[in-house]
Amino acid sequence: MTATILSIRAAGPLVTIQDGGRRGLMRFGVPHSGPMDRLAFAAANRALGNTPDAPVIEVSLAGLSLSCEEGEVGIAIAGGGFIVDHAGHKGGSWQVLTLRAGQVLRIRPGFRGSWCYLALAGALEAQEWLGSASTHTMSGLGGGALVPGQMLTVRDARRVAAQDLPCPLIARPRPVVHVTKGPQDRYFSAAAWQEFIQGDWRLTPSGDRMGVRLSGPLLVPQGPLDMPSEPVVRGSVQVAGDGVATVLLADHQTTGGYPRIATVLDCDLDGLAQLRPRDRLRFIPVTGPEAVAMARSRAGVIARFLEGIDRLASPD
């Protein structure tokens, strides 16, 4: 039980500290933030027996390299299909291992996925803002983006036995997602709605934690764009005046004056976030009751998966 020191050797853009996020503050302009893939985040923390919302490192497609300077610490890596190089041994994301003084850990993109989580067996020291260490990328508030040369301290670090974690189907990138219509669908013609749900969409490289722009049919709003500023959510499909659609994600602005043609179900968003630029995406419309039924069913599947991870973390 001692402090372990990690040194960041390389960290690309959008490699940040995230925890469970800050809730209930959208009325003050503050989105929830937190992990882009909440399922992989939860799996990484629970694989170590951590509290479910403990701060972790969220690794983007830009990759991360760090070394252990002092002490040792168990880590769990989950999310996507990244390539993990631990002291010269190559493996994938979805594993638990112990990092020891002098060892280097590298995480870089593999064959799929955009986000990967590195949880630590111990307490990662991170700056909090409004009760959460999650980085709000627009302001940089919270734990912040990692930069080369930065030192991280893990208090009460524990070592853990190495093992693989299961990556279930529900944690895969999700190229087909469900949406409810609107709430500002009145700005779009029936033909535009058909184009939206039949369209062959792709993610563009223009994406970050705030949202991802899509390429596909132009959905030019009809009539004057006289919409006042109204609340938006993670999952809002917002269409700018030029007809280009954007899906809003974890660090979204909380209100906006562009119409939302549809809203992606929250239970599909972790999988959408794991898609990569140029990946295909399709939208399937559902009603409100269907959306709730899907969310409840998905929550059951996720709970069973995470209970399985808990059993791996404490086998007795």
Partner 1 sequence: MLAPPLLRPVAEHGLLVEFGALMTPEVHERVLQLDAALTRQPFPGFAEAVPGSATLLVRFDPLVADHHSVGAHVLALLGAPFTAPQPRLHEMPVCYDAELSPDLRDVAAATGLSPDEVIAQHLAASFEVSMYGFAPGYAYLTGVPQAIRVPRKPAAIRDVPRGSVLIAGQQCIVSTLTMPTGWSIIGRSPRRVLTGDADHPFLFEVGDRVRFTRITRAEFDWMEGA
Residues that bind partner 1 (CB under 8 A): 23-30, 130-131, 136, 138-139, 141, 179-180, 182-183, 226-231, 233, 235, 253-256, 263-267, 287-289, 291-292, 294-296, 299
Any residues with CB less than 8 A from the CB of 245 and at least 6 apart, and which? 196, 201, 213, 214, 216, 219, 237, 238, 239, 261
Is 194 in contact with 295 (CB distance < 8 Å)? no
Q: How far is the CB of 287 from partner 1 (least distance, A)?
A: 7
Which of 245, 50, 266 has its CA nearest to residue 157? 50
| CB-nearer residue toward partner 1: 88 or 288 | 288
Q: How far is the CB of 225 from partner 1 (least distance, A)?
A: 12
| CB-nearer residue toward partner 1: 267 or 312 | 267
Cis peptide before 183 (omega within 30 of 0): yes
| CB-nearer residue toward partner 1: 99 or 179 | 179
Is 160 in contact with 6 (CB distance < 8 Å)? no
Q: How far is the CB of 284 from partner 1 (least distance, A)?
A: 13
| CB-nearer residue toward partner 1: 147 or 299 | 299
Question: β-pairing, 16-18 with 89-92?
Answer: unpaired
Encoded amino acid at 113, one letter? G
| CB-nearer residue toward partner 1: 106 or 136 | 136
Q: How far is the CB of 263 from partner 1 (least distance, A)?
A: 4
| Rounded-to-integer distance, Cα 111 and Cα 57, Å | 20
Is 230 in contact with 258 (CB distance < 8 Å)? no
Instruction: Give the DSSP letter of residue 250.
Output: T
| CB-nearer residue toward partner 1: 23 or 159 | 23
| Rounded-to-integer distance, Cα 142 and Cα 200, Å | 37
| Rounded-to-integer distance, Cα 15 and Cα 147, Å | 8
Q: How far is the CB of 15 from partner 1 (least distance, A)?
A: 21
Q: How far is the CB of 22 from partner 1 (least distance, A)?
A: 10
Question: β-pairing, 280-285 with 236-239?
Answer: unpaired
Please, what's the b/e burial string for 113-147 (b: 16 or more CB within 10 A of its CB; e: otherwise)? bbbbbbbbbbbbebeebeebbbbbbeeebbbbbbe
Taking every pair of Cα atoms in the chain, the longest distance, rounded to a whole number of angstroms, is 65
Q: How far is the CB of 247 from partner 1 (least distance, A)?
A: 12
Which of 124, 78, 67, 58 has its CA nearest to residue 100? 67
Q: How far is the CB of 248 from partner 1 (least distance, A)?
A: 11
| CB-nearer residue toward partner 1: 3 or 227 | 227
| Rounded-to-integer distance, Cα 63 and Cα 193, Å | 38
| CB-nearer residue toward partner 1: 5 or 227 | 227
